[in-house]
Structure 1
Amino acid sequence: MGYELIAFVQQSYIHGGAILFSYNKAYLAAIIYTFIIGFSFMFVKIALLTADPSDILAHRFTVAGLASIIVFSFNKTKLRMPKQDFIKILPLALLYPALFFCFQVFGLFYTTSAQAGIIQACIPILTLLLAAYFLKEYASSREKLFTFLSVTGVIYIFAMSSFSGKQGNLLGILLIFLSALSASCYNVLARNLTKKYTTSTLTYFMTIFGMIIFNFIAIIKHLSTHTLTDYFMPFTNNSFLLSIFYLGVLSSLLTAYLSNYALSKITASKMSLFSNLATLITIFAGIIFLKETLQYYHIIGAVFILAGIIGTNCSSSKK
């Protein structure tokens, strides 16, 4: 009896340790993902000095696609994509990268990286609402109150930006908000798909899909304006080369893999919380490296958003 008890305790310890190690890796992946995304806004702004948004997206995912082909060609596990699964994964690829990056890049064309980073802070709130509706994870009264607080912060930034006389900024903020909505939908949808498909399969499919769709859009645009010879002109600029490598390999391919992996281990709402840290990184990166100005209403709105997010998750935690 004693030996059986000892064996049971040992097995439980080993199993529990394996689970803890798995979750630690998931959170580490989420943290790395956060830092890469936090600096991505700055590199998008640098790339926009040389190329337009459609070309940036095309070149970004061309680099990401080629990198994924090289990386996953050495993967011992074969990537399988049955025809019947294509329809199931397609909506995920449409949300991320297609809609997410389209709204993000065009939004950054009309607004600053600091403003974009603040709007991205509403991703956990949107994820919480979508998770409650689709995953039946209902929020308490306190969680709803803090959610309303964060939404109030977003509305405040919308209103103050329109009153500041910068009419273009309102369009940029709207596009960034749609980008955040796409990311929230991705968080909820990916949570289920990561249980059915491997991280490598989802990442490879999403990256290749992004390469095809964004290059198609860019080439059609150049053909319509008879500027196809200018398609590869940005690669003659060293700053663009550095930016597109960061955006393609790190901020597209690697973050897709890290996000898919983290979502296979932790809930969508927990994963979405890491966008808060990305927001702070984005703001400071824009101020320090791009010399951008942070308005007082950005700070007030950010306080409302972050206070609501922190309050929401503290309300749902018993520890």
Structure 2
Amino acid sequence: MNNRPSLKLAYLSAVINAVIIGFSFLFTKMALDRALPLDTLMYRFAVSFALLSIPIACGWIKLNYRGKPLSKVLWLATMYPLGFFTLQAYGLKQATSAEGGILYAFTPIVTMILASVFLKEATTIMQKLSTFLSVFGVVFIFMMKGGGIDPSNLMGLFLLFLTCVAFAGYSVLARSLLKIFSPMELVYLTSGIGFLFFLVVSIINHAAAGTLDLLFAPLSSLTFDLSILYMGGMASLVTALLANYALSKIEASKISVFSNLSTIVSLTAGAMFLDEKNTVYHVVGSLLIIAGVLGTNRFGRRKAAKPVFTAECTEA
């Protein structure tokens, strides 16, 4: 049974996770100025996997996969990072970043639906309304910025919507697997799978284009190196550990809504470092997001149902 200190730490983890992700948009922009999207992902997960491999190799961190359902972790990695980032990369080729931001905001709603079906997580009417309020806050900001949805970008919009499904599926399955695996065990496997996948894809793409010599060219840029260190160390490794810890203590439907806080952080980072102007509608949208996050977690039921996956995973 969760005690109060662990719940507070879980909520703090969710907030810090959103802050780190919010700043990651800034570093992603800088990295993409110097490398292709898939190459950036390869370096991102190379850093994550390397940073975690060092303490494991030194024996400072102990992992135990004996008798555990590793095939389910492969499914987890297929949703995130593989599915999420691949769908996002190709979706943004045919749609705008504003459209991506709008569709990604619907992730908490998709998570709530999947969690109710697969984890039997019950949510109150006030929780549902609060989640919709948070989503509306993000959509309101993007719409007021002139970033509406163009129906002609149908394929791109569909791929971006699938990123919501992929991340929601990850949250739901991770919530279940964290009954069996430690957060560190899940992060190490998914990071390693992500690194190997994007490494192979990058090499194949460069080999086909005859540009293998350009694969390591971005490393000559200090800006790129620092951006990748942040993205791999903080935005991938640390956020994964924080998210998995939070999911091990709190329902997926409650945790997912915290992702919309990253929109507020990215707006703040843009104003601070990119001279992007924030207006009244940014403030209004941000207040709606915060109110939605607080409401989703304030008006929940006192006792959450047990995940239905747990018994199945234990038997595997």
TM-score (normalised: structure 2): 0.79
1:111 aligns with 2:96: yes
1:28 aligns with 2:47: no
> In structure 2, do the counterparts of structure 1 residues 263 and 146 end up closer, same or farther at CA, with 3 Å as the change threshold?
closer
1:89 aligns with 2:68: no
Letter in 1 for 2:203: I
The unaligned stretches of length 5 or more in structure 2 are: 303-316
RMSD: 3.6
Q: What is the SS of the residue equivalent to 1:80?
A: coil
CA deviation after TM superposition for structure 1 residue 178, in Å: 3.1
Cα distance in 1 between the residues matched to 2:162 and 2:284 = 21
Letter in 2 for 1:184: A
Report the counterpart of residue 183 of structure 1 in structure 2.
167
1:55 aligns with 2:39: yes
CA deviation after TM superposition for structure 1 residue 117, in Å: 4.7
Cα distance in 2 between the residues matched to 1:108 and 1:194 = 32
Q: Summarize the alignment of residues 125-140 of structure 1 with structure 2, pairs less than 5 Å apart.
A: 125-140=109-124
Kindly indicate whether the alpha-carbon contact (under 8 Å) linking 2:122 and 2:301 is maintained by their aligned counterparts in 1.
no
Letter in 2 for 1:232: F
Q: What is the SS of the residue equivalent to 2:5?
A: helix
> In structure 2, do the counterparts of structure 1 residues 120 and 195 end up closer, same or farther at CA, with 3 Å as the change threshold?
same
> In structure 2, do the counterparts of structure 1 residues 177 and 296 end up closer, same or farther at CA, with 3 Å as the change threshold?
farther
Letter in 2 for 1:125: I
Letter in 2 for 1:238: L
Query: How many percent identity over aligned positions?
Result: 42
> In structure 2, do the counterparts of structure 1 residues 84 and 187 end up closer, same or farther at CA, with 3 Å as the change threshold?
closer
Cα distance in 2 between the residues matched to 1:64 and 1:100 = 17
Q: What is the SS of the residue equivalent to 1:264?
A: helix
Letter in 2 for 1:111: T
Kindly indicate whether the alpha-carbon contact (under 8 Å) linking 1:100 and 1:182 is maintained by their aligned counterparts in 2.
yes
> In structure 2, do the counterparts of structure 1 residues 108 and 162 end up closer, same or farther at CA, with 3 Å as the change threshold?
same
Kindly indicate whether the alpha-carbon contact (under 8 Å) linking 2:178 and 2:244 is maintained by their aligned counterparts in 1.
yes
Kindly indicate whether the alpha-carbon contact (under 8 Å) linking 2:261 and 2:289 is maintained by their aligned counterparts in 1.
no
Kindly indicate whether the alpha-carbon contact (under 8 Å) linking 1:120 and 1:279 is maintained by their aligned counterparts in 2.
no
Kindly indicate whether the alpha-carbon contact (under 8 Å) linking 1:119 and 1:154 is maintained by their aligned counterparts in 2.
no
Report the counterpart of residue 193 of structure 1 in structure 2.
177
Q: Summarize the alignment of residues 212-223 of structure 1 with structure 2, pairs less than 5 Å apart.
A: 212-223=196-207
Cα distance in 2 between the residues matched to 1:220 and 1:83 = 35
CA deviation after TM superposition for structure 1 residue 316, in Å: 3.3
CA deviation after TM superposition for structure 1 residue 119, in Å: 4.2
> In structure 2, do the counterparts of structure 1 residues 265 and 309 end up closer, same or farther at CA, with 3 Å as the change threshold?
closer
TM-score (normalised: structure 1): 0.78
1:123 aligns with 2:112: no
CA deviation after TM superposition for structure 1 residue 253, in Å: 1.3
Report the counterpart of residue 3 of structure 1 in structure 2.
none
CA deviation after TM superposition for structure 1 residue 95, in Å: 1.3
* Structure with more of its chain in helix, by fraction: 1
Kindly indicate whether the alpha-carbon contact (under 8 Å) linking 1:122 and 1:150 is maintained by their aligned counterparts in 2.
no
Letter in 1 for 2:96: T
Comparing 206-215 with 175-184, which one deviates more in the overlay? 175-184
Comparing 243-252 with 279-288, which one deviates more in the overlay? 279-288
Letter in 1 for 2:274: L
